[in-house]
Amino acid sequence: MNMPKALTIAGSDSSGGAGIQADLKTFQEHGVYGMSALTVIVAMDPQNDWHHQVFPIELDVIKPQLATIVEGIGPDAMKTGMLPTVDIIRLAADTIHQHGLKNVVVDPVMVCKGEDEVLFPELAEALRDILAPQATVITPNLFEAGQLSGIGTITTVEQMKEAAEKIHSLGVPYVLVKGGGKLEHEKAVDVLYDGTDFEVLESERIETSYTHGAGCTYSSAITANLAKGMEVKDAIYEAKKFITAAIKHSFPLNEYVGPTNHAGLRLYGE
Ligand SMILES: Nc1ncnc2c1ncn2[C@@H]1O[C@H](COP(=O)(O)OP(=O)(O)O)[C@@H](O)[C@H]1O
Ligand SMILES: Cc1ncc(COP(=O)(O)O)c(C=O)c1O
Ligand SMILES: [Mg+2]
């Protein structure tokens, strides 16, 4: 049997809701074989209000992971998640370029929900200039779209469109700006721009703060659909259904965090 295969180049979220844990669970839910190259380990401090601790992995330990998958196996699609240094961003971009990898979803992670400060402010430029041009699809949230486009704070759908246009001009064929829970709107709105048309994707907005890992789950659902051979827009429409169900059936882990339910669509149908 020919199993679709997907790679995630991303960080470990020890709490299990975001990062490679979210990616691999989401690939599995789609019947896609998941593989990973780990870039950073994130832990949360239960004695200090769940403060995030971030431990980057050395370049020499990331390279052989990538060689295993890219040279040794060959993914049908891939995504990037948290890339904690400029050198790691460059390594991911070079790997995609040198091996001609196709179906590349870049989730330009700059913030973790629940944390006020930007994790790695110096990385916005590297994501924009080095990695974005290698992407097929890029999936910034409101904050990240503001940073990548240079617009700054985004509060309206019109500004999301403006940001999408600017990010498209970096050389990304499909730009998906996520309004999510941050945009003041009665629906959960994302803007998709392909260089010609804008599409506003709307779904039911769920009143919950349990959205940890939503962006990781969404981008890995897109990646899984691409690995299965879907066209980019169809991959995104299907992923929007998947993430909406995952948020609808999200749950608390403790007083600090509630992840999306990666099995939501399979278990409850919507
Ligand atoms: N409360 C919500 N109800 C429904 N959909 C949501 C909600 N919050 C986020 N989403 C959707 O989840 C997906 C991930 O978006 P977002 O949470 O903004 O990403 P990130 O986790 O990267 O910040 C998007 O499709 C967004 O519209
Ligand atoms: C390893 C890792 N990657 C990515 C993220 C981003 O998560 P989200 O999908 O909520 O944007 C987090 C947040 O905690 C993380 O720990
Ligand atoms: Mg995110």
- Between the CA of 236 and the centroid of ligand 3 the distance, in Å, is 16
Does any ligand 2 atom lie closer than 6 A to the CB of residue 135? Answer: no
Q: Which of 82, 106, 260, 262 to mutate to test the pocket of ligand 2 (most atoms within 8 A of CB)?
A: 82
For 40, residues 6+ apart whose C-beta sits below 8 A from its C-beta are 11, 12, 54, 55, 56, 57, 82, 83, 84, 88
| pTM to 2 decimal places | 0.98
Q: What is the pLDDT of residue 114?
A: 59
Q: Confirm if 89 and 107 have CB atoms less than 8 A apart.
A: no
Tell me which residues have their CB closer than 6 angstroms to ligand 1: 113, 141, 178-181, 188, 190, 203, 205-206, 208, 211, 214-215, 218, 240, 243-244, 247
What residues does 52 pair with on adjacent strands? 44
Half-sphere exposure of 57 (CA within 13 A, CB side): 20
Question: How many beta carbons lie within 10 A of that of residue 240, not counting itself?
Answer: 21
Residue with CA nearest ligand 1 atom 27: 180
Residue with CA nearest ligand 2 atom 3: 19
Furthest CA-CA distance within the chain = 50
Does any ligand 2 atom lie closer than 6 A to the CB of residue 247? Answer: no
Q: Give ipTM to 2 decimals.
A: 0.99
Counting every residue, how long is the chain?
Answer: 270
Between the CA of residue 202 and those of 47, 86, 186, 240, what are the distances in Å?
A: 39, 34, 10, 9
Which ranges of the chain would DSSP assign to H, the alpha helix? 19-29, 59-66, 86-98, 123-126, 142-149, 157-168, 214-227, 232-248, 264-268
Q: What is the pLDDT of residue 112?
A: 73
Domains and CATH numbers, the chain: 5-264 (3.40.1190.20)
Per the structure block, which two tokens stand in for 190?
């994302």
Give residue 19's identity as a one-letter amino acid code: G
Q: With 0-12 CB in 10 A as exposed, 13-18 as middle and 19+ as buried, what is 202?
A: middle
Does any ligand 2 atom lie closer than 6 A to the CB of residue 79? Answer: no
Of 227, 247, 88, nearest in space to 178 by CA:
247
Between the two ends of the chain, the Cα-to-Cα distance in Å is 29
What is the residue-level pLDDT of the chain in tens, covering all 270 positions? 889 999 999 999 999 999 999 999 999 999 999 999 999 999 999 999 999 999 999 999 999 999 999 999 999 999 999 999 999 999 999 999 999 999 999 999 997 775 655 666 679 999 999 999 999 999 999 999 999 999 999 999 999 999 999 999 999 999 999 998 899 999 999 999 999 999 999 999 999 999 999 999 999 999 999 999 999 999 999 999 999 999 999 999 999 999 999 999 999 999
Does any ligand 2 atom lie closer than 6 A to the CB of residue 105? Answer: no
Q: What is the pLDDT of residue 133?
A: 98
What distance in Å separates the CA atoms of residue 241 and residue 159, rounded to the nearest whole number? 24
Taking phi over 0 as left and psi of -120 to 50 as alpha, with beta for the rest, 19 belongs to: left
Q: What is the pLDDT of residue 37?
A: 99
Of 181, 32, 8, 180, nearest in space to 83 by CA:
8
DSSP state of 205: P
Ligand 2 atom closest to residue 219's alpha carbon, by position in its atom list: 9
Does any ligand 2 atom lie closer than 6 A to the CB of residue 11? Answer: yes
Question: How many beta carbons lie within 10 A of that of residue 208, not counting itself?
Answer: 15
DSSP state of 117: S
